[in-house]
Amino acid sequence: MEQAGVDAVVASTPVNVTYVSDFWSVSHWTRRSAQAFAIAGRSSTRAIGLVVPLGNADLVPADGHRAPDFVESYDRFVFTPPREPQANLEPEAAQLLSIVAGHPDAERGPIDALAEAIRRVGGNTAHIAIEYDGLLHGDNVRLHSLLPDIRFTDGLPLLRAARSIKTAEEIRRLRRAAGISADAFQAAVADSHPGDTELDVQRRFHAALAMQDGTPFLTSITSGPRTALPNGQAGGRQLQEEDGIRFDGGCRYLHYVSDIARIAAFEAYPSTHRAYYRAVVNGLEAAVDVARAGARAADVFAAAVDAVRRSGIPHYERSHCGHGIGIENYDAPRITPASTDVLEVGMVICLETPYYEIGLGGVQAEDTFLVTEDGLEPFSTTPPEPIPAGTG
């Protein structure tokens, strides 16, 4: 931000508000019409100001590490203050009472509250980088008219750049999200047998996520020829003895997501499919071998595709072989042939080599890694052969 010469960055989309502040506004995350903003000051990405609908004020982080310096609330919501004197309010209740006490008497909307928050951070003449994509139609014009002497520029590039390097707490959550997903799929397929439906597998997978505090994210579970559908949704198809079962996706854990892929199979899975599987696993391993801090993303891509081609799928093509991951599943960097990204210490990336042959099926290997000076530290590890299904 100091390089960009801005005084503050305003995050406006759910992902970036939560990134900046760890504040998860349930209204903002579930309704396009709801709004919340987080303002990060010049010297760090820690939130210094939050704009919140009063009805979500109970979700503002109350602990010292993430507590904002100030909150501007908007809209109406009825909280009844204690009817009897309370000796010991919990910190979250005390903070909620203080936000309610500071709520303005006059009704106002989110853009009025945001304008006030920007004034508190930068006065009337600051240079503010703002993420425009969370604003509603017309709000941009209104914000500029309320703050005619503020210089606004696009804040999204700054936020994307900051998000690409993870903090220790982000790394902890991402490691756990990947581990939960890998464990849950392993458990789900161990209990699955020919005659079960894809939905049976998905039910077991989602239930196993739940018991480890993960919520479903991006789940694609398919079987047989349907494994060629990259995002195929589990349905009533019954598993056959010769099937592979393809899983791609993961879970959300404390706002952060996982994205891994696995192939499970019964004993009669054909040798052609097993050969394809080994080819894509070789591709993933080749990518891992060259990836480390300082490596070019385009070189990682080339290593992956070349290895798959040499290992049994000579016609293999891909548009990307991986991506960063965080609160969103496509953080920087992008592992593409034309990417100019360079891997850096603290990035968390997914590497993947999926192959989708319509009518026949798909195979895929995808894992999540922390980038270090010496190479990659895996959060999950694809097995060299498909996971045996129905062993539980």
Q: Shortest Cβ distance from residue 29 to a copy of itself (Å)?
A: 9
Nearer to a copy of itself, 55 or 390 (CB): 55
Are 389 and 190 in contact, with CB atoms under 8 Å apart?
Answer: yes
Q: Give yes or no for residue 364 binding a copy of itself (CB under 8 A).
A: no
Q: How far apart, in whole angstroms, are the C-alpha atoms of residue 163 and residue 160?
A: 5
Q: What is the DSSP string of 330-388?
A: -EEEE--TT---B--TT-EEEEE--EEETTTEEE--EEEEEE-SSSEEESS---SSPEE
Q: Shortest Cβ distance from residue 259 to a copy of itself (Å)?
A: 10
Q: How far apart, in whole angstroms, are the C-alpha atoms of residue 11 and residue 1?
A: 13
Q: Give yes or no for residue 169 binding a copy of itself (CB under 8 A).
A: no
Q: Give yes or no for residue 355 binding a copy of itself (CB under 8 A).
A: yes
Q: Give yes or no for residue 268 binding a copy of itself (CB under 8 A).
A: no
Q: Give yes or no for residue 110 binding a copy of itself (CB under 8 A).
A: no
Q: Give yes or no for residue 238 binding a copy of itself (CB under 8 A).
A: no
Residue 124 burial (CB count, 10 A): 10
Q: Shortest Cβ distance from residue 118 to a copy of itself (Å)?
A: 18
What 3-state DSSP class applies to 7? coil
Are 284 and 353 in contact, with CB atoms under 8 Å apart?
Answer: yes
Q: How far apart, in whole angstroms, are the C-alpha atoms of residue 224 and residue 245?
A: 7
Q: Give yes or no for residue 242 binding a copy of itself (CB under 8 A).
A: no
Nearer to a copy of itself, 179 or 295 (CB): 179
Q: Give yes or no for residue 107 binding a copy of itself (CB under 8 A).
A: no
Chain positions 216 to 235 lying near a copy of itself, rule: CB under 8 A, are: 216-218, 220, 225-226, 228-233
Q: How far apart, in whole angstroms, are the C-alpha atoms of residue 260 and residue 249?
A: 6
Contact residue for a copy of itself among 246, 273, 318, 334 (CB under 8 A): 318
Q: For residue 235, give Cα distances in angstroms to 198, 243, 249, 334.
A: 5, 15, 16, 32
User: Segment near a copy of itself (CB under 8 A), from 118-126, 169-177, 212-220, 288-296?
Assistant: 212-220
User: Segment near a copy of itself (CB under 8 A), from 38-46, 117-125, 172-180, 203-211?
Assistant: 203-211
Which residue, among 307, 301, 304, has the nearest Cα to 338 in the 3D structure? 301
Q: Give yes or no for residue 338 binding a copy of itself (CB under 8 A).
A: no
Contact residue for a copy of itself among 141, 161, 207, 268 (CB under 8 A): 207
Interface size with a copy of itself, residues (CB under 8 A)? 73
Q: Give yes or no for residue 384 binding a copy of itself (CB under 8 A).
A: no
Q: How far apart, in whole angstroms, are the C-alpha atoms of residue 349 and residue 13?
A: 22
Chain positions 7 to 26 lying near a copy of itself, rule: CB under 8 A, are: 13-15, 26
Q: Shortest Cβ distance from residue 183 to a copy of itself (Å)?
A: 14
Contact residue for a copy of itself among 171, 199, 342, 345 (CB under 8 A): 199
Nearer to a copy of itself, 220 or 380 (CB): 220
Residue 194 burial (CB count, 10 A): 14
Chain positions 41 to 80 lying near a copy of itself, rule: CB under 8 A, are: 55-56, 58-59, 76-80
Residue 294 burial (CB count, 10 A): 11
Q: How far apart, in whole angstroms, are the C-alpha atoms of residue 153 and residue 148?
A: 14
Contact residue for a copy of itself among 206, 262, 278, 334 (CB under 8 A): 206
Which residue, among 319, 312, 304, 303, has the nearest Cα to 279 in the 3D structure? 312
Chain positions 81 to 100 lying near a copy of itself, rule: CB under 8 A, are: 81-84, 86, 89-90, 92-93, 96-97, 100
Placement of tokens 């196993």 in the chain: 208
Nearer to a copy of itself, 229 or 293 (CB): 229
Q: Shortest Cβ distance from residue 72 to a copy of itself (Å)?
A: 18
